[in-house]
């Protein structure tokens, strides 16, 4: 049995495409937040007319209260609910950590993957999740072992 996997990460994580590709190569179905339903989702911020990296309280409220933001949120939420496993691919930011926590709250398996090449801040709360890996192969082996 192959897994349906949600990879929670950052737009800035250069490892994301290769992890998604390798998981698919191994026969898993993978939700790619960068290309949901085949589109490049980086454009959502442009469509929302966001031209800066930071917003303030009222701007955030207005941003989140748009049909486009709500639609994209619902897509991600549906993908999380339909997935069996979450891989929290470090380094990443708030959204990915919220997604991983949400999925753990749903009772899903959550693995954290932090590359041996990335500097990471210590975080005790990663013990919330099922396992922490610093190399790809042990993670891929764990996914296969889960199939038994």
Q: Please list the helix, strand and coil fractions of the chain in percent, rounded to the nearest 5, in that order.
A: 45, 15, 35
Of 116 and 71, more confident: 71
Is residue 108 predicted with pLDDT exceeding 70?
Answer: yes
What is the spatial distance between Cα 62 and Cα 85, in angstroms, rounded to a whole number? Answer: 32
Q: Containing H/E element for 132?
A: strand 131-133
In tens, the pLDDT along 80-98 reads 999 999 999 999 999 999 9
What is the spatial distance between Cα 38 and Cα 53, in angstroms, rounded to a whole number? Answer: 25
In tens, the pLDDT along 7-40 reads 999 988 999 999 999 999 999 999 998 887 766 6
E strands in 4-127: 4-8, 29-31, 85-90, 109-114
Q: What is the pLDDT of residue 46?
A: 64
Please state the rounded mean pLDDT for residues 63-84.
90
Please state the rounded mean pLDDT for residues 118-135.
90
- What is the pLDDT confidence band of residue 112, given thresholds at 50, 70 and 90? very high
Of 57 and 96, more confident: 96
The pairing of strands 109-114 and 131-133 is parallel
2-11, 36-45, 84-93, 104-113: least confidently modelled range: 36-45
Kindly report whether the global pTM for this prediction surpasses the value 0.85: yes
3-state secondary structure of 82: helix
Q: What is the pLDDT of residue 37?
A: 72
What is the spatial distance between Cα 142 and Cα 54, in angstroms, rounded to a whole number? Answer: 38
């Amino acid at each position: 049995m192959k897994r349906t996997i949600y990879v929670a990460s950052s737009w800035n994580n250069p490892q994301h495409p290769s992890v998604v590709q390798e998981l698919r190569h191994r026969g898993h179905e993978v939700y790619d937040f960068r290309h949901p339903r085949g589109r490049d989702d980086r454009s959502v911020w442009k469509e929302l007319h966001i031209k800066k990296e930071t917003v303030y309280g009222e701007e955030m409220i207005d941003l989140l209260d748009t049909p486009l933001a709500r639609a994209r949120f619902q897509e991600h939420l549906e993908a999380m609910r339909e997935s069996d496993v979450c891989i929290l691919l470090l380094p990443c930011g708030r959204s990915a950590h919220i997604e991983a926590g949400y999925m753990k709250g749903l009772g899903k398996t959550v693995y954290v993957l932090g590359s041996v090449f990335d500097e990471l801040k210590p975080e005790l709360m990663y013990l919330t999740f099922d396992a922490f890996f610093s190399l790809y192969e042990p993670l891929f082996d764990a996914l296969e072992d889960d199939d038994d």
